[in-house]
Every structure is written in structure tokens, then in C-alpha cells.
Structure 1
Amino acid sequence: MREIVVISGKGGTGKTSVCAALAHLASAGSRGAGQGVVICDLDVDAPDLHLLLAPVPRRREAFMSGNEAVIDRERCTRCGTCAGLCRFGAVRQEGDAFEIDPLRCEGCGVCFRLCPAGSIAFPERECGEWYISDTRFGLMAHALLNPGQENSGRLVSLLKQQARELARENGAQTILCDGSPGVGCPVISSLSGATLAVAVVEPTPSGVHDFERVAALCDHFRIPVALIINKADLNPAETARIRALAEEKGRTVAAELPFSPDVMRAMIAGKALTETDSPLAGLLAGAWKTIDGLAARADSRKTPNL
């Protein structure tokens, strides 16, 4: 089983459009009515792959992570100990009563443990939801983190675990993940156990800079990187610079995609680019052939689990 993670050093590079196209190509080239690939949207803070794949949930679960203090007003003696202990300003007073602001509570548990009256509960915090869904390209694991909630790295890990279980149950050989942008905790979780990273890069100074950061992260975890240069024709000088960087590091440029309004048209229609007659579809098909081959070779070099 191989895991391909589509990443980008920054947002807005076209990563999700590329991932949707690769999911279509992977499912079209597999056996078992689309069950040869499991799709996973790991951009849990701002997911949008569902806009193109129209998933129909078959399983829906709350994502519980961390704890949140809650005052029982019936048992509270109004002593104010909790307010004096809280270092996050989460305890507020209304009249002679105290309550906890859930947006400020960091879940440290100090008030819960030291309340003299034992009037503070400490239940798990619901941070969002995760889903297992059917799409026209195969099964999909995805989620949505509630606004302002943390632990996105933990939710990403949960989704990857679910995707691996789905792949084993359905005999899928490929897990294709739409990763988070940047180099933070969600991206590190996205890359954990990956066979190959596919970096979608824009030919701009900031795009090159952010690509170098995410490529260094992949190097740290010894994950090979393939590149897709998006809007390559808008800045030939930076495109040449990216190509030179890839050659220097021994990385494969799987495709150079020109700027095209077809991308927006496909998004509005809720389709992957490869479901349209856009010239980009042929370029992406060639890119998938290269990426699939690279992933197969990388998978064959993996050390077996002991």
C-alpha cells in the first residue's frame, strides 16, 4: 500500500484541483469499481476537496480532543478560587455567579482540580466532525475542525488511520491525500508514513521560497518529492529556477501546467479537470503516470515493518 500526499508550501497554488484530478485518474486506472484508491482530505482547518467530489457520508463521528471546564452553578459556592487560579482569563463573573468562557478556556484543568467545592466538571471538548463518505472516485475520509479549535494534527492522524483501514478492508493499493498548506503540525502529520509527496508549486519568489521549506521538511523525513509547477507560463524565469532546483536535488518535475480559465470552469461545474475536455487533462494524465511510477518504486524500497 502506498500513500501519496499532495502538498504545497503555501495556500492557493491549485493543490486541491490537482488532487481531485489525480483521484479521478487513480480510480479510472484501478480495478474494483473505483475501490483501488482511497481519498483523504487532510486540510481539516479549511477543507474544500468535497466541493469537487460531492461526498455522501456513510459514517459521521464527533472529533473529541482535549477538555473544557464547566461550572455547575448549583454546587458553586461563589468563592472565586477558579477566577484567581485561571491564567487565561477564562473565568468571568456575572453578578455573584461565575462561569467559564469556552473560547478562552485552554483545558489546563487547574480550576477543576483545585475547586474547593468540586463544582467544576471537565468533559471532553468536541472540536469538529469527521466522515467516511462515498464519492464517484471511491471512498473518502475527511473532516471539518470547528473554528478556532486546535489539535488539527491529531485529527489529521485520525483521518490517516481511517484511510489506511479503508484501504485494507477494500483492497485498495493507493491512498491519495490532499494535505494542508505550509510546514506546520498538520503538514507534518499529513506526511507521516507517506510514500511520496507531490508538491504543487507556483513560479513566484514566495512560491519558490515556501516550496524549499516544505521540500526540506520532506527531506528530513526521507520522503521523495515530485513537483507539479502550476501556472508555469506566467513567470518563465521562476519556472526555470524551480526546474533547476529540482534537478539539483534529484527531484522529478511531473508536469508544468499553463495558466488556464479551465480550472475555474471545472470548479464551478464541480468537476475534476480530467473530467473535462481541457488540454490540462492530458498534462495531468501524464503527470499521474509519472507520479504513480515514482510511488511504486519508492514503495518497493520501503523497509518492511518488523
Structure 2
Amino acid sequence: MKGSNKLEELVILSGKGGTGKTTLTSAFAALSDSLVLADCDVDAADLHLILNPTIVKREPFVEGNEAIVDPKLCTGCGYSANFCRFDAFRKEDDGTYSIDTIRCEGCGVCVRLCPASAIKFEERHCGHWMVSKTRFGTLVHAHLQAAGENSGKLVTLVRKEARKIALEEGKKLLLVDGPPGIGCPVISSVTGADKVVLVTEPSLSGLHDLERVSRLAANFEIPVYVCVNKADIAPKLTKEIEKSVKESDNKFVGTIPYDEALVQAQIKGLSPMEYLSAAGRNHIEKLWENIWETN
């Protein structure tokens, strides 16, 4: 990124939750003077807890349709309910029917079959997305409702809006806090990115999930950088992870030791770079430098 006018997209991922992905994202945000942030962990977004954003734009996220019974038109015949493969219909005390929106898959069969035309097929509001201002720059983030569908599509929407804003504002970096795991939201987060940072921890589950997300990232032929958080809680396993990464096509960029001050920073809603000692900040600064200097 140094000396470049091109917008670069850096995505922070982890094979599992709880490795410190969002904490590292907030630290990197403090180290860049020209960025837009995107929180693509839409199922459990929490970057806003550290950045304390001021929302300037809020839009609904609509995906698919859901069937809704009009009780004034429903005759209680139960005809459509007999054809519902998802057992979404519920009989009410007055003899009419209602539809459980959690169970409804939006197939529309009941709408077509209802003899009284009592079922409407309305847009499904699954959540919302927002544009906010933070002390580090613009943040695009979202909230997906419980049982909300198509989190991958919402991730794509968040990234697209964040990239649009970054280009309009002439920023150099689009910093993405991606979701954990290897599912559809992760694929939507990493597609078309310039660099991927994988955050892991020295545990057997951390190593296993690092290997899984590494294989996923390899399919996109994007440079992958690996760091180990809480590295000193299991030094032997940290060395094993480092050795494994160096034997692969990925690049090992460093470690972060366990630090109680990181917990306090989160409680206070601060980035690690706003709270840690100089020694603590130095570990993260080295990671940042290694990511941009390693080819």
C-alpha cells in the first residue's frame, strides 16, 4: 500500500470465532490514515462496539418473500396448510390460520393454492445495513435478524457500498472484518480482495480451522498472511503453526502475545493501539509492516 494510489482491499479472516479477528481489525484501523471499514461478519457484527459509530445512513435488507395470512379473508379450510412441506401453518383459536415466519421458506405454494386468496406474498425484511462515521473513518456495517437468510448476499452488499465510498473519498485501503469459518459469508468476503490476513490461536482447533480457511483462500489465488494471537499460551504449538505456514504458499507475518490489557481495551471501547503499552503496540505494528512489505 505504501506509495500506491490504488485502492487495496485487505480482509481479516479466521477459521473459528474468538481468535481476535475483530480486535486486530480495530488495531489496523488505527494504523491507517486513509481507509474505509467494512464489518462483514453480518451474523454477529461487533466492530461497532469498539468504533462507537454515528449512523448517517440506514437501509433495509430485503431478500426473498414470505407468506402472510390475512385473518379477515381466511376461512379456516386448511387447504393450503395441507400442502406446506415446512409445517409453517398454525391454527389459531378463532379457527383461522397464521404462518410461522421462521419456518416459512417463501416457496409460494400456499399463495397459489389458497381458495380464498387470503395469503399475501410480501417482501421478507431480513435486517438492515448502515453507513456510519467513526474516529478512524467511514464504517459500513449491517445487522441480520435472527433466522435471516442470505447473509452472503448481505456481505456482498456491504462490501460493494464500502468500496463505492472508498473510491468516492479517494481512500487507499478498504479494511474488511470478515466472518469466521469457511461458509458462504466468508466466500462473499474474500472474492476479489487483494490480500487476506488469517488470525489463528495456538490450539488444536485453531490449527485445524486455520488449515481449512487456508485451503479456501488458496482457491482465490490471493496472497495470504498468517499471524498467531495469544501466541505465548502454547509456544510449542505456535512454533508448529509457524513451521506449517512457512512450508506452504502462505506468509507468516508474526505473533501477538496474550495481554490482559487487550481485554480492558475492549471493555473501554478502544482500539488496542489506543490503550496498549508501547511494547504491546509494537507487536501489532510489526504485523502491519510485514503485511505490506512482504511480497
> 1:117-266 to 2 correspondence within 5 Å?
117-266=116-265
Please give the per-residue CA displacement for 1:153-205, whole angstroms capped at 9, x wherever unaligned.
11101001101110111011210000000001111111111111101110111
The change in CA–CA distance for 1:277 and 1:91 in structure 2 (over 3 A counts) is: closer
Q: Secondary structure at the match of 2:293?
A: helix
Q: What is aligned with 2:282?
A: 282
**TM-score, length-normalised on structure 1?**
0.91
Structure 1 stretches of 5 or more lacking a match? 28-35, 298-306
Q: Which amino acid aligns with 2:51?
A: L
Deviation at 1:78, TM superposition (A): 2.5
- Give, in whole Å, the separation in 2 of the partners of 1:280 and 1:185: 34
Q: Secondary structure at the match of 1:61?
A: strand
In angstroms, what is the RMSD of aligned CA positions? Answer: 1.2
Q: Secondary structure at the match of 1:208?
A: helix
| Contact 2:39-2:142 at 8 Å conserved across structures | yes
- Give, in whole Å, the separation in 1 of the partners of 2:281 and 2:36: 21
Q: What is aligned with 2:4?
A: none
Q: What is aligned with 2:39?
A: 41
Deviation at 1:290, TM superposition (A): 1.8
Deviation at 1:79, TM superposition (A): 2.3
Q: What is aligned with 1:291?
A: 291
- Give, in whole Å, the separation in 1 of the partners of 2:53 and 2:248: 38
**TM-score, length-normalised on structure 2?**
0.94
Please give the per-residue CA displacement for 1:275-296, whole angstroms capped at 9, x wherever unaligned.
12422211111211222335xx
Residue identity (%)? 46
Moved more, 282-291 or 129-138: 282-291
Please give the per-residue CA displacement for 1:229-283, whole angstroms capped at 9, x wherever unaligned.
1111111111111111111113222221111101101111211111124222111
Q: What is aligned with 1:77?
A: 75
Structure 2 stretches of 5 or more lacking a match? 1-6
Q: What is aligned with 1:54?
A: 52
Q: What is aligned with 2:3?
A: none
- Give, in whole Å, the separation in 2 of the partners of 1:110 and 1:169: 44
- Give, in whole Å, the separation in 2 of the partners of 1:41 and 1:271: 16
Please give the per-residue CA displacement for 1:88-119, whole angstroms capped at 9, x wherever unaligned.
11111124211111121111111112222222
Deviation at 1:49, TM superposition (A): 0.6
Please give the per-residue CA displacement for 1:137-163, whole angstroms capped at 9, x wherever unaligned.
000000111112121111101001101
| Contact 2:262-2:276 at 8 Å conserved across structures | no
Q: Which amino acid aligns with 2:249?
A: G
Please give the per-residue CA displacement for 1:29-80, whole angstroms capped at 9, x wherever unaligned.
xxxxxxx201000111111110110010000111111111001122223221
1:100 aligns with 2:106: no
The change in CA–CA distance for 1:83 and 1:277 in structure 2 (over 3 A counts) is: closer
Q: What is aligned with 1:26?
A: 32
- Give, in whole Å, the separation in 2 of the partners of 1:190 and 1:215: 14
Q: What is aligned with 1:30?
A: none
| Contact 2:67-2:106 at 8 Å conserved across structures | yes
Q: Which amino acid aligns with 1:197?
A: V
Paired residues in the alignment total: 287
